[in-house]
Chains A and B, each alone.
Chain A
Amino acid sequence: MFQAMPMFGNGAMDLTFSPISARVRGANHKKTGIRCQDNYGIRRLDKMLIIAVADGHGSSDCKYSDIGSEKAVNSFCDIIEKICKSCSDLEQLHALLSRNKDDTIPTKICDEWNRKIERLHKKAHPDEDFDRLLYGSTLLGLAVCDQFVFAAQLGDGDILSVAANGSTDRLIVTERILGTETHSLSSDSAWITMYTTIKYFPAVGETPVLFMLSTDGMANSYATDEAFLLCGKDYADSIQQYGLEEVGKKLKGWLTETTEGGSGDDIAVVLAVSEAIIRA
């Protein structure tokens, strides 16, 4: 089932998937002077790409949520990297992720976030009482190789999977919370609200060609869900036609256009792109 793979290194070998990423501050925050609340993270290991996006809540109760989202993406990447490096091959990694995706892994990620923000708070604001809510954030993350993908989502945002024929689906379908509320890392027992999934690709032709992680400012900018999902195929087609580097250069400008013409919210996006379409 699995090819024997070497121990996970630091990306020295060719990745099956390559990332491009960008984040922009939304029109609303530019007007009010609030910092961009969205962050992204990328970790390259041999044959494994780890990516994450997070959206700080940005309300007056959450005045450090830009830091919260930064620590969120770091927490996901740190924990998943640690898990990868604890495994000798992909088969072992797949088994470990499958067994622990519903409880242990969400708990570890949330605990790591709590540790990071509490440590930072005590150092940066020693005279201020610590409250997780100050750093409230969502978190979406994904770890992918050519044989499987693991994904996790806590709060709003989207994880899209694009097949070779361009059809696009959400990798994780969460309950839709109306308005501006979302599940949060800062909630009690936040790990319970983290959705996870792991999908194995049985044949080369069945491996998705692109994954897209985006914070909710992205989807909220499109007139319909269909208009948003079209992003998947369009990004894949553009990369195939113009190359990864060219599309990477355009990404920030597109996100700026998107927030200005749409939701006005901050946006962070990371794409994981298969070599199958980069070298096509």
Chain B
Amino acid sequence: MAKNIKRPGGELASRPLHFIWIVDRSGSMHGEKIQTLNFAIRQTIPDMRASADDNPNAQLLIRSLKFSTGAQWINATPISVNDFEWNDLDADGVTDLGKACELLAEQLKIPPMSERALPPVLVLLSDGQPTDNYKKSLDELKALPWGKKAVKVAISIGEDADDNVLAEFTGNRELVLPADNPQALVKMIKWASTLVKQVSAPSSKRDGDAPVVVDMDNIPDVSSDADVW
């Protein structure tokens, strides 16, 4: 007769999936840009929650980091997507991307990151040129094991953003997404939020091939959107 034998092993757990918004709130973002950004990120929350419900084996954890003069975590402790809320940011100051990279790097080390986590998703939103010595910090970030494996996307806001710097961050120019007007910014932020679906249930990949391959077929076409910033 089948006995009630306890399942061997200890506690089970889904794999953590860290999603981090990295937001430029420098003075040049003042006005429509920051307002649209605030609106767009807030709009992503219901769909990200739905994604999380569809993929219960990935524990979706959200964090946000803001940078202008200096950089600070908006929430340094990862929050379950079900508890995540977006509070509007204002815009003021310069563009200390390097400081942002330093803060990111501290959190991508092991620990606090776990070896069993899924590849983290980092989304950088910026409209300008870095005003600090960002290169050293960015290189250190990208040299970390999780820095290499992370899915990195950048949204280039307006015509003054330095796409070369953003491409250094992503490691792939195709993952620098143009957002020259409010409609485009909303579309690109929404697309970036859908990356959680791609990373939530990944298949194994042969080591040495590209890390998580992002499906870029669905990146919105914003070429026809009017009113360039």
Contacts and interface: CB of A to CB of B under 8 A. Distances in A.
A59 interface: yes
Given A228-B9, A249-B2, A178 B149 contact: yes
B197 to A, nearest CB: 12
Nearest to B207: A181
Interface in A225-266: 226-228, 230-231, 234-235, 238, 242, 246-247, 249-250, 254, 257-265
A136 B206 contact: yes
A68 to B, nearest CB: 11
A228 B11 CA distance: 8
Interface residues on A, range: 35 or more
Given A231-B8, A247-B5, A262-B12, A180 B202 contact: yes
A100 to B, nearest CB: 25
A62 B208 contact: no
15 contacts: A28-B57, A55-B204, A62-B203, A156-B204, A178-B115, A180-B202, A180-B205, A180-B212, A221-B12, A227-B9, A227-B12, A234-B6, A235-B8, A238-B5, A258-B7
B204 A258 contact: no
Interface residues on B, range: 35 or more
A250 B57 CA distance: 23
Nearest to B4: A250
B146 interface: yes
Interface string A47-80: 0000000011111101000000000000000000
Interface of B is mostly: loop
Interface in A206-229: 216, 219-224, 226-228
Contacts of B70: none
A59 B203 CA distance: 5
B8 A181 contact: no
Nearest to B148: A178
A258 B12 contact: yes
A216 B15 CA distance: 12
Interface stretch (A3-11, A145-153, A182-190): A182-190
Interface in B85-113: none
Interface string A124-154: 0000000001001010000000000000000
Nearest first, the 6 A-B pairs at minimum CB distance are A227-B10, A264-B57, A234-B8, A261-B12, A223-B13, A59-B203
